[in-house]
């Protein structure tokens, strides 16, 4: 009998590592599949996911600086600048110089974008309803609580790793 046919005893540690790996893969897969589905839903609106995120952040805090937006989106300033250029060209937002520091541009939504954001939110709500179909509220609350705790732990790790 060779070593490859000998069953490996499942220890608590092995089981834990397997579960941790599986959980990581599941989180990654769900995130990737959700992004793909969201892209498909937004396609008829002629909006990319990146553009949607810019508009979504500005809808919560209109007048952010380009630097703030880049930090929130975890993108470089140049990448955000390109997104802003395209959205500005489409008439969805505008850049205005900051009144106290003319070197800083603040980004504002144009009225045209508010209609698009409302349509995108409806699309998002329909997709989320489909994704969450059949899941009990208690399971959703437990999942949200778990993911929120994982997010806090990751943010804490990243903050302590920066120093």
Is 27 within the bounds of a domain?
yes
* Count of domains observed in the chain: 1
In 4-39, which positions are buried (b, 16+ CB within 10 angstroms) versus exposed (e)?
eeeeeeeeeeeeeeeeeeeeeeeeeeeeeeeeeebe
The CATH number for 25's domain is: 1.10.10.10
Is 144 within the bounds of a domain?
no
Residue-wise pLDDT tens digits, 44-77:
998 888 899 999 999 999 999 999 999 999 888 8
Is 141 within the bounds of a domain?
no
pTM: 0.72
Residue-wise pLDDT tens digits, 104-156:
889 999 999 989 999 999 999 999 999 999 999 999 999 999 999 999 999 89
**Structural domain harbouring 33:** 16-131
Is 153 within the bounds of a domain?
no
What does the alpha-carbon distance between residue 144 and residue 93 come to, in Å, rounded to a whole number? 33
């Amino acid at each position: 009998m060779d070593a490859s046919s000998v069953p490996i005893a499942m220890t608590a540690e092995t089981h834990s590592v397997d579960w941790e790996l599986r959980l990581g893969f599941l989180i990654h897969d769900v995130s990737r599949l959700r992004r793909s589905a969201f892209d498909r839903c937004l396609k008829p609106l002629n909006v990319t996911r990146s553009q949607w995120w810019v508009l979504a952040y500005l809808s919560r805090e209109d007048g952010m600086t380009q630097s703030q937006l880049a930090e929130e989106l975890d993108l470089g300033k140049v990448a955000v600048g390109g997104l802003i250029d395209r959205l500005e060209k489409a008439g969805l937002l505008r850049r205005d110089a900051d009144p106290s520091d003319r070197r800083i541009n603040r980004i504002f939504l144009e009225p045209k974008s508010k209609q698009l954001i409302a349509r995108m939110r409806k699309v998002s709500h329909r997709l989320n309803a489909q994704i969450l179909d059949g899941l009990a509220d208690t399971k959703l609350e437990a999942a949200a609580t778990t993911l929120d705790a994982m997010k806090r732990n990751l943010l804490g790790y990243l903050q302590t790793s920066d120093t």
